Structures are given as structure tokens and as C-alpha cells.
Amino acid sequence: MTAKILDGKKIAAEIRASVKGETLLLKERGIVPGLAVVLVGDNPASKVYVGQKEKGCLEAGFASFLHRLPGGTSQKDLLDLIGKLNADPLVHGILVQLPLPDQIDEEKVIAAIKPEKDVDGFSPVNMGRLVAGMSAIEPCTPKGIMRLLEASRIELAGKEAVVIGRSNIVGKPVALMLLARSATVTVCHSRTRDLAEHTKRADILVAAVGRPRFVTADMVKDGVVVIDVGINRLEEGLVGDVDFEGVSEKASWITPVPGGVGPMTIAMLLENTLEQAKLSGEGRS
Ligand code: NAD
């Protein structure tokens, strides 16, 4: 079997075009979706991600407010900025690029973002709502994964879904979202015994580990749907957590890296921000 490609680049482009169209309509009502991105220090990967987010905003017709703060910024100064952005009616979404420098407590900063501006979906309120099955601003990467599955009409109810990784950013929330769609979900992590025994059962396999080509063909069954979240920078370029060459011979669907989950993450960030701008126009906020 040679897998069909879950084309994140194409699906994300369609979503971005729709966001752009809705933004034009919203502008006629005097609302310009505004995203504030806060970057502390100069982590090279963070700079790349922030650049992509800013570009996405500008293409969609959003107002982009980029705050670059020096690496030595104090927690108090960062919390003061979050307070100002929380109160600013032109800002509908606030994204603090992680990781933050050591002197700053990430949890405190994330918790300080007003839940209705938390377009990354990492705040305790949005995470709690997700766990409870209530409407929430959903974190962008797992939301993007679910959209990719939906766009390709991949059935989830009753299926065995195996997630490798339990981070708050990807593994944990995607497991909850798969559960909400009635998959039978197993979450594997660094202490899982005999990982392959789990992955071989998977109808849907999500790899969010951060290790190049970690999932190999002998770890999966024929017909599996594979979502590769990993972004590993090697000298030869970007590679995922899945050995694409081998695994795509057995999978029915697979995401490429790059061009799979990555573009969906940005598209979901734009969609989350647009959604909050719309709600603010309806008098909430
Ligand atoms: P993380 O480091 O927070 O989590 C990695 C997880 O992998 C942990 O839960 C750990 O328990 C698990 N793990 C580590 N070694 C393991 C092993 N030997 N067996 C089983 N599980 C193991 O990483 P993260 O933030 O969840 O990101 C994971 C990957 O996804 C990274 O490559 C990251 O760059 C990428 N990522 C991509 C996007 C995107 O938009 N495409 C977004 C976020 C993260």
C-alpha cells in the first residue's frame, strides 16, 4: 500500500482564504481582527514561528501587533504588558511565544491571558473547558490535526487512536479531541513499556515526540492513518517523527513534513483569532 497524502498545505491555504474573506466582511462592520504576538528573547526557532504568524496575519488582513522584548525582561514587565493587551479593544488574540526565559514563570503568564483572548488555547480555563467537553478556544496544533482528519473524511468513531507524546501543547489535547470524537484513545509517552505493542494496534497514529524518524514501518499495521507532528531540524532539512519512506508503504494516509501539520497550526491560529473578533463584535468581551 502506498499512502495518500494528508495535504496540510492545501487544506490550510483553503482555510486561510476563507478567513481572509470573512475578515473583509468583518471590516465592513468596522472590526479588524487583531493578534498580539509577544516574543521574549531571541530563540532562533521562536523567531521563525513568530515570523510565520505575522506573515499569516498580514495576508489575512488582520492587524498584527508584534511585541519583541529583550531576553532579560522581568516577569512583572511581561505581566504588565499582558494586562494592557487584555484591556486593548483592538486586540482579539494574544499569543506569548514559548519557551520563555528562565526568570519567567510560564504558567503564571499563560494564566494571566484573558481566556477569551487566549487564541493558543493553553490557559487553564480553555484547557479545563476542553477536558469537560465544553466549547473552548482549542489549541492550534491539535485543532489543525482534527481538521486534517475531517477534511479527508477519516472516520474516528470506534477506531483505535494511539498518541505518542503527552505534552500540554499537542499530545494531551489531541487525545481529548480524539476521545470527544468517540475514538478509543491510548496515550503513550517516554515511560511507556513496549511502545510498538501499542502503535501496532493503531488505526490512527499521532506522533508528537520530537525525535527524527522515530516511528518506523515495523511499528505500524497496514492501513494506519499517520499524523506526524514532529519538526526536527537536521542538516539535511526538516524531518518529522515518522520514517516517511518506510511508513508510507504501509499507511493508508500520512502527513508529510513539511507541509502537513505545520501549516494547519497557523491556519487555526488565524481562525481562532477571527472567531474571537467576531464574538467581540457581537457584544461579548
Ligand atoms: P515535548 O517535548 O513537550 O513532548 C514530547 C513527548 O514525547 C513527551 O510527552 C514524552 O513523554 C514523549 N516521548 C519522548 N521520548 C519518548 C519515547 N522514547 N517513547 C515514547 N514517547 C516519548 O514536545 P511537544 O511540544 O509535544 O512537540 C513534539 C514535536 O512536535 C516536536 O518535534 C515539536 O517541534 C513538534 N511540534 C510541531 C508543531 C507543528 O505545528 N507542526 C507544533 C508543536 C510541536
Q: What is the pLDDT of residues 54-110, one digit of tens each?
A: 999 999 999 999 999 999 999 999 999 999 999 999 999 999 999 999 999 999 999
Contact yes or no for 181/206 (Cβ under 8 A): no
Joined grid coordinates for residue 203: 488505526
Q: At what angle do helices 8-28 and 261-281 cross, to 10 degrees?
A: 20
Residue 276's Cβ-side half-sphere holds a number of Cα atoms within 13 Å equal to 29
The full DSSP string for 222-284 is: TT-EEEE---EEETTEEE-SB-HHHHTTT-SEE--SSSSHHHHHHHHHHHHHHHHHHHHHTT-
Please report, as a single letter, which amino acid is at residue 10: K
Task: Please give the distance of CA 266 from its chain centroid, rounded to a whole number.
Answer: 7
**pLDDT value at position 66?**
97
CA of 240 relative to ligand 1 center, distance in Å: 11
Clarify whether 97 is annotated catalytic. yes
Tell me the CB-side half-sphere exposure of residue 275, using CA atoms within 13 A.
17
171 lines ligand 1 (CB under 6 A): yes
Give the position, in ligand 1's atom list, of the atom nearest the Cα of 260: 41
Spans in the chain with pLDDT lower than 70: 283-285
Task: Write out the three cell numbers for 53.
Answer: 504568524
pLDDT of the residue at 285:
47
Report whether residue 184 contacts ligand 1, using a CB cutoff of 6 Å. Answer: no
Please give the pLDDT value at position 281: 80
Determine the pLDDT at residue 284: 63
Query: Ligand 1 pocket, 52 CB below 6 A?
Result: no
261 lines ligand 1 (CB under 6 A): yes
CA angle, corner 49, sides to 21 and 130, nearest 5?
70
In the reported structure, the alpha carbon of residue 24 is separated from the centroid of ligand 1 by a whole-number distance in angstroms of 37
Closest residue to atom 18 of ligand 1, CA basis: 190
Catalytic residue among 118, 120, 203, 228: 120
Rounded distance between C-alpha atoms, residue 248 and residue 255, angstroms = 9
Say which residue the cell 488582520 belongs to.
62
Please give the pLDDT value at position 282: 80
Question: Which three cell numbers, joined as nine digits, stand for 204?
Answer: 490512527
Which pLDDT does position 264 carry in this prediction?
A: 98
7 has catalytic annotation: no
Annotation marks residue 53 as catalytic: yes
Q: Is the peptide bond before 89 cis (omega within 30 degrees of 0)?
A: no
Question: Which helix H or strand E contains 38, and what residues bound it?
Answer: strand 34-40
Distance between CA atoms of 201 and 193, rounded to whole angstroms?
15
Answer whether 199 contacts ligand 1 (Cβ < 6 A): no
- The CA 165 to ligand 1 mean position distance, Å, reads 5
Tell me, in angstroms, the distance from the centre of ligand 1 to residue 263's CA: 17
The domains located in the chain, with CATH, are: 30-114 (3.40.50.10860), 140-262 (3.40.50.720)
Return d(Cα 20, Cα 23) in angstroms, integer: 5
